[in-house]
Amino acid sequence: MKKEPEIMEENRRMIESERFKEQYRKVKSAFTRTRKLSFSMIIVFILQKSVKSLQIRLNEWYDWLGGKTVSNSALTQARANLSHKAFIALNARNVELFYEDGDYKRYQGFRLLAVDGSKIRLPKGASIKEEFGAISYRNQKEEVKGEHNYAQLSVLYDVINKIVITAECGKARAYEVELAIKHLNKVNKEEDLLLFDRNYATYEFMATLLEQKINFVIRCPVKYTLAAEMQAGTGADSRVVAIKYQKKTFQVRFVRVLLSTGEYEILVTSLLNEQSYPTEIFKEIYGLRWGIETYYGLIKTRLELENFTGKTVESVLQDLYSTIYLTTLETILTWETEENLETKQTNKNRQQVNHVVSFHAIKTEALNLLLSDLPIEKVISKLRALFLTNPILDKKKTPTERKNKTARLLLHYHRTQRKHSF
């Protein structure tokens, strides 16, 4: 894929267009007069989210602000007039352009899309609690000690091409399956194969997917009788069975795969044909689902999603969707560099772009990339040179179950190991 300049030029046009501004400002009178913090500058400022204080970052924009300073208060007032939907629209357009000519990676002819949810811890505040809800926490004696505000984030994620197709932000106790259903209108029924963890293995959801002719692979909970029998080592490795839901009968296929641990994993899929889709491929297919877990790790740790820059509902949504938009930009802008590193592979483990380097470079150059009159090719050329610095080895690891880390281990990680991107 060599259309980074085309995509970035489109981003520039959108951000600077009057139509885009009118569509995504929350007040008609906002951003109408010439001000130090324009509509487009607010978008870039939010995208450049940093661990630094807001005032220090505003001071770093001194030259871009015409040799003037801006206060925290002015920034807060300006961003309150920007709708978070601007970032959703920018990301949607990038996704559209990315897949437009069909030049992207597939597995067995499929675009592999994983769906999963994750709790996002939010700032304190009555308005945020009212919008999203809170979850109580307990001590070792199981006594309720307090509560934290949370949201439930669900993404439809291309695990091979590393692109978020769409995202839904729901209440703290939102049902993951209901959020997943909202993603289905973005699915290409002929080309996509959806991957789900066992939380989605309900007859109702499988019937919904089958009725819409959407192909899927879902990890089975052992509560299913057939899954339990197959996991125990009895029966064939692949069985097509009929399931009933609301007087309708559907066919699904149960597949047993042997893990490196010597244990069996049972999957249920809509891919019934053993000849076209042999049992052996499903271990690798489901293993690729781990990419969505890696994605949540990326936005929560490397990009510090939960370190929100505001305490209003709108600022929370701005930070969330701007982070998703940023990850799509990073995938698009590092695509060619990743391809070049792969072709130059000399070690057992191939080299890949260091995310700490790439995200820092994109944030640092965001103003030149999105707002300046500099030729876009010149900015992208500089970014590619930066992406090549300090590449890391892509060491293939076997996916493992997520483990809850103790507070002590998390504190040690944040103090001694965590590397900030900006």
Helical spans, DSSP H, in 27-145: 39-47, 54-60, 72-79, 85-99, 126-132
Residue 96 identity: E
Q: Which of 308, 369, 329, 331 is nearest to 84 (CA)?
A: 308
Q: Write out the DSSP string of 313-379.
A: HHHHHHHHHHHHHHHHHHHHHHHHHHHHHHHT--SSSPEE--HHHHHHHHHHTHHHHHTS-S-HHHH
The total of other beta-carbon atoms located within 10 Å of residue 144's CB is 9
pLDDT at position 344, please? 75
**Maximum CA pair distance of the chain?**
75
Q: How confident is the model at residue 417 (pLDDT cuts 50, 70, 90)?
A: low
Q: Which of 289, 323, 282 is nearest to 306 (CA)?
A: 323
Q: How confident is the model at residue 394 (pLDDT cuts 50, 70, 90)?
A: confident
Paired with 152 in beta bridges are 119, 170
Give the pairing type, strands 392-393 and 351-352.
antiparallel
Sign of the dihedral defined by the CA atoms of residues 43, 363, 103, 190, in that order: negative
Mean of all residue pLDDT scores within the chain: 90
pLDDT at position 133, please? 97
Main-chain phi, psi angles of 238, to 5 degrees: -145, 125
Give the pairing type, strands 192-196 and 111-121.
parallel
Q: How confident is the model at residue 143 (pLDDT cuts 50, 70, 90)?
A: low
The span from the CA of 339 to the CA of 1, in Å, is 9
Q: Which of 300, 299, 316 is nearest to 122 (CA)?
A: 316
Q: How confident is the model at residue 376 (pLDDT cuts 50, 70, 90)?
A: very high
The total of other beta-carbon atoms located within 10 Å of residue 65's CB is 15
Q: Detail the DSSP E strand segments found in 280-391.
A: 351-352
Q: Where in the chain is the domain with CATH 3.90.350.10?
A: 111-291
pLDDT at position 399, please? 53
More confident residue, 207 or 259: 207
The set of long-range contacts for 28-32, using a CB threshold of 8 Å and a minimum separation of 24, is 30/81, 31/81
* pLDDT value at 333 more than 70: yes
Tokens at 159, concatenated: 């695990």
Residue 140, Cβ density class (10 Å: 0-12 exposed, 13-18 middle, ≥19 buried): exposed
The span from the CA of 4 to the CA of 377, in Å, is 9
The span from the CA of 342 to the CA of 331, in Å, is 15
pLDDT at position 390, please? 86
pLDDT at position 263, please? 82
> What are 347-362's pLDDT values in tens digits?
667 889 999 999 999 9
pLDDT at position 408, please? 58
CATH number corresponding to 111-291: 3.90.350.10
C-alpha dihedral (204, 131, 89, 365), degrees to nearest 10: -120
Residue 8, Cβ density class (10 Å: 0-12 exposed, 13-18 middle, ≥19 buried): buried
The span from the CA of 317 to the CA of 139, in Å, is 30
Region 229-258 average pLDDT:
87
Helix (H), strand (E) counts: the chain: 17, 11
Q: Write out the DSSP string of 286-312.
A: HHTTHHHHHHHHIIIIIS-TTS-S-SS
The DSSP code for 333 is: H
The span from the CA of 360 to the CA of 303, in Å, is 10
* pLDDT value at 411 more than 70: no
Tokens at 92, concatenated: 């949607």
Q: How confident is the model at residue 149 (pLDDT cuts 50, 70, 90)?
A: very high
* Among the ranges given (45-59, 166-180, 265-279, 324-338), the one the predictor scored with the smallest mean pLDDT: 45-59
The span from the CA of 342 to the CA of 350, in Å, is 6
Tokens at 201, concatenated: 């293995």
More confident residue, 234 or 164: 164
The span from the CA of 161 to the CA of 105, in Å, is 6
* pLDDT value at 373 more than 70: yes
Task: List % helix, strand, coil for the chain (3-state, nearest 5).
Answer: 45, 20, 35
